[in-house]
Structure 1
Amino acid sequence: MRTCAAPPFDTAFAAQVGAAASGGVDGATARHPSDTRWRPHDLLRLRRLPSYDGEPDWVRPAFAHAPFAVVRRASAAPGFIAVGMRGNGRAQRYGTWAQADDIEAVIAPEDLLGASSQLDMERLALPAFALLYSVRDEAQSLRAFSWGPTGSAGFELATGTPTVTATSDLDLLIRTAQKLSRERAAQLLSELESFARHAGIRVDVQLETPSGGIALAEWAAGKARVMVRHAQGPRLVSDPWAVPPPQA
């Protein structure tokens, strides 16, 4: 079964648009497109979701129950957004394409930090949510950043659909427009992992940099190069904050 719908547009043209918007690629880094109405990990509430050949049977019922999709990293033609759909369990994940005219609302991860009021006490007691609100209220190292939950916790907070389980990890996104030193990254990771050990689950943290998304754990480990997730594909870079100047 396909895990992603074929693009409903000319991919060569979309790649050219993406490269132009990103300021070009020097083999190491690239900027994100200038359209910031939606960014990777944002949740989109959609008026409708186009259907494409090869779509799994679970996608339509899942969308009818929760008409949301998460923005994923992929080059798209103007008017289209690469999105991911989720159903029940890890096996039900599907990449597809939404249209900009169908977006009713955009919810960023950082918008969800105050969204606990819709959860009952039983849901709030789940380790992922307990960990989220512990780090929100007590983690000193996070207070200098814009950040929020992604993954199952973010999806449940945005949609009200129960997706977190007793064994769910907590996924976090931290926006780091300015360079984060290795030392500070290690301190941040150490504090978050200490909270996670107390909760009995893992915390998976991604840094959003000018070049794309990188794992906090990789940057904190002092590796010479780290894997950056970018719309034009993953790449190894030495400095995710070293953005090249725009090309003419």
Structure 2
Amino acid sequence: MVSAPAGVAGHRPHDLLWPERASSLIISGPPPPWATPAWLAVAPVVVRRATLADPAQVPVGLRGSTRSERCAARLPARHVVRVLKPEEIARSAAGSARVRESPLACLQALARLGPALDALPLAWGVTGSVGFSLASGFDVLRAGSDLDLILRAPLAAGADALRAVARLLRDLDARVDAQVETPFGAFALQEWVRTGGPVLLKTSRGPVLTDDAWSSPDAAFFDAACRPMPA
């Protein structure tokens, strides 16, 4: 099975990276007040979807303890000391008492979905605030936190499995945002099910509306006015 292409040093969007030191992170302009050296020294950063001029750097996003605390940055690949992929977070969550016993709807949804997703012929992982919290141990989840998932679908032939996932997401107490990753970008599962095909594909060059998310987007379709969207 063909896998989605990886980025610098094999890093993909949504991978969590731990920098060698806080000073390894390159931020344009002054860092936001919440991005203190003490926080950046222990919190992982997330690989974001972007193209950088320097191929030896990884585009990353800094996360704080609240939803509004986000900041774009760059990280030299040689300064990455640890990597945790969404699939690895999902596997660790399967045996986590924190997930099984949590009163939070997002973690209850994860506990319920995990075995069913494992039974399908696709790779999947946990991203967003749930993935960040499970990977780092920081308590950043709230009662209304979403559950964010990534579904690896390198071939269009996996469409039946994707439709099965969409059915699993019904009647959950938590909102679940499932992103489907193809070799050319990512799109929202619910949008694809609703439209029957046309989706907004998030690529490293920016968003593009396409009828086939498993084909390379034509550069002519990119809207120059659109700024690159986060992963």
Query: Per the shorter chain, which TM-score range?
Result: 0.7 to 0.9
CA drift of 1:203 comes to 0.6
Show CA shifts across 1:40-85 (max 9, x none): 0000011123353232121124313x33100000102121111011
Q: Which has the higher contact order (CA 8 A, sep 6+)?
A: 1
Equivalent residue number for residue 61 of structure 2: 84
Query: Residue 58 in 1 paired to residue 58 in 2?
Result: no
Q: Secondary structure at the match of 2:200?
A: strand
> C-alpha distance in 1, partners of 2:126/2:61?
16
> C-alpha distance in 1, partners of 2:178/2:135?
19
Cα RMSD after superposing both structures: 2.6
**For 1:137, which of 98, 115, 125 is the aligned residue?**
115
TM-score normalised to structure 1 length: 0.75
Alignment of 1:202-221 (within 5 A): 202-221=175-194
Query: Residue 164 in 1 paired to residue 141 in 2?
Result: yes
The total of aligned residue pairs comes to 209
CA drift of 1:34 comes to 6.0
Q: Which segments of structure 1 move beyond 4 Å, counting only runs of 4 or more?
A: 31-36, 117-123, 180-184
Structure 2's unaligned 5+ residue stretches are: 218-231
Q: Secondary structure at the match of 2:156?
A: coil
Q: Secondary structure at the match of 1:74?
A: coil
Query: Residue 225 in 1 paired to residue 198 in 2?
Result: yes
The 1:180/1:85 distance shift into structure 2, 3 A limit, reads: farther
Structure 1's unaligned 5+ residue stretches are: 1-30
Query: Residue 73 in 1 paired to residue 49 in 2?
Result: yes
> C-alpha distance in 2, partners of 1:113/1:85?
21
- Higher-Rg structure is 1
> C-alpha distance in 2, partners of 1:130/1:187?
19
TM-score normalised to structure 2 length: 0.80
Query: Residue 45 in 1 paired to residue 15 in 2?
Result: no
Contact 1:192/1:203, CA 8 A, preserved across alignment: yes
> C-alpha distance in 2, partners of 1:186/1:218?
12
Query: Residue 185 in 1 paired to residue 170 in 2?
Result: no
Contact 1:71/1:84, CA 8 A, preserved across alignment: yes
> C-alpha distance in 2, partners of 1:118/1:62?
25
